A and B are shown apart, each in its own frame.
Chain A
Amino acid sequence: MGIQNTLQEGFFTTRLEHVLAWGRKYSLWPMPFGTACCAIEFMGVVSSRFDISRFGAELVRFSPRQADLMLVMGTITYKMAPILKRVWDQMCEPKWCIAMGACASSGGFYDNYSTLQGIDEIIPVDVYIPGCPPRPEQIIHALVKLQEKICGTGQSFPVAPPLVAASGVVKKGNAA
């Protein structure tokens, strides 16, 4: 005797964490950490032509305390690195991070004394976007990939950062 027999027509059952994940993935609040040209490209994604609001992530916050998605867009120098870390630490759980562009992902062509060779040296990254700068479609694609990751339906990410364990959502979803 399942719960379906007890409840009337029009009900369905699910797991609470799935509902939470479904809600979260369509209301991401991005915190733009823009240091270079990728941030300019991001403006195009937010505004009407590409319109990131179709994916529920249009409400850009400039305070880390009001955001749950950090978008690192641009070159991060060693001098900037501790500031990026501090801003990331100020964001509430659950939180996610997208490294946008070659610089944030790997240092890009700035292979020199001043530039951090990828932000994953200091904070965990969920999705990397290649490109210099990436096209707006790539950013939207990254967002969709992140949504898949949040609700645990996407492909598994082999190098899952500690963030997965912290949020708990993706890990359990993948196991199910």
Chain B
Amino acid sequence: MSQAILEQLRARFGEAIIETHNFRGDETAIVRREQIVPLCQWLKATPGIECNMLIDLCGVDYSERAERFEVVYHLYSTTQKHRVRVKVRLAGEAPQVDSVVAVWPAANWFEREAFDLFGITFVGHPHLKRLLTFDEFEGHPLRKDYPVNRRPKIPTPDPLM
């Protein structure tokens, strides 16, 4: 069912769709990073697709690849009952991608988590601050090159109010 969405995506965005695949019914589109926000808006707003729910957004580190990082968006439509995955590949030690908080407010904490653990900067995020670790934490612990034995210093806590 979602295969039709991938074809519509190709027809609408053409060059911006790098590749698509459909492994055991998990329809996935890998897209160019410049187009992620208009593409997400289109997936959300187009009648018949209506991916109005961001299930998950996460970072991945494929340290052996040239484009080392990936951001994965899991989308669901509560009206059409279908799912789509969108992926963006990012290169470099300080990867950047546009924030989708304006499309789905649910992306707010997901993007903070990916920023915290992978060091991916989401341009346009309203409050890009570490979510799970603390401000004084050095490095991004889910990167594959983060030393396994490294331990942080004991932090000073955030004021709660």
Out of A83, A116, A121, which one reaches B157, CB within 8 Å? A83
Residues of B within 8 A of A83 (CB): 157
A83 CA / B158 CA spacing, docked (Å): 10
Evaluate contact between A82 and B154: CB separation under 8 angstroms: yes
Q: Is B124 an interface residue (CB 8 A)?
A: no
Of the candidate stretches B64-72, B83-91, B101-109, B145-153, the one touching chain A is: B145-153
Chain A CB within 10 Å, residue with most, of B134, B151, B152, B157: B151
Out of B132, B148, B151, B155, which one reaches A117, CB within 8 Å? B151
Evaluate contact between A114 and B141: CB separation under 8 angstroms: yes
Evaluate contact between A114 and B154: CB separation under 8 angstroms: no
Out of A81, A82, A114, which one reaches B133, CB within 8 Å? A114
Question: What does DSSP make chain A's interface, helix, strand, loop or mixed?
Answer: loop
A117 CA / B141 CA spacing, docked (Å): 17
Evaluate contact between A113 and B156: CB separation under 8 angstroms: no
B residues 73-89 touching A (CB-CB < 8 Å): none
Evaluate contact between B152 and A82: CB separation under 8 angstroms: no
A residues 71-93 touching B (CB-CB < 8 Å): 78-79, 81-83, 85-86
Evaluate contact between A79 and B155: CB separation under 8 angstroms: yes
Residues of A within 8 A of B141 (CB): 112-114
Residues of A within 8 A of B133 (CB): 78-79, 113-114
Residues of A within 8 A of B151 (CB): 78, 113, 117
Interface string of B105-140 (1 = CB under 8 A from A): 000000000000000000000000000111000000
Q: Is A166 an interface residue (CB 8 A)?
A: no
CB distance from B118 to the nearest CB of A (A): 13
Question: What does DSSP make chain B's interface, helix, strand, loop or mixed?
Answer: loop
Residues of A within 8 A of B152 (CB): 78, 113
Q: A113-B151, A114-B141, A117-B151 known; A82 and B146 CB under 8 Å?
A: no
Q: Is A43 an interface residue (CB 8 A)?
A: no
Interface string of A79-112 (1 = CB under 8 A from B): 1011101100000000000000000000000001
Q: Is A37 an interface residue (CB 8 A)?
A: no
Residues of B within 8 A of A117 (CB): 151
A99 CA / B75 CA spacing, docked (Å): 44
Give chain A's interface residues, CB within 8 Å of chain B.
78-79, 81-83, 85-86, 112-114, 116-117, 121-122
Query: 15 other contacts beyond A85-B154, A113-B150, with CB at 8 A cut-off?
Result: A78-B151, A78-B152, A78-B155, A79-B133, A79-B134, A79-B155, A79-B157, A82-B156, A82-B157, A83-B157, A112-B141, A113-B133, A113-B141, A113-B146, A121-B154
Give the top 4 A-B pairs by smallest Cβ distance, nearest first: A113-B141, A82-B157, A81-B154, A79-B134
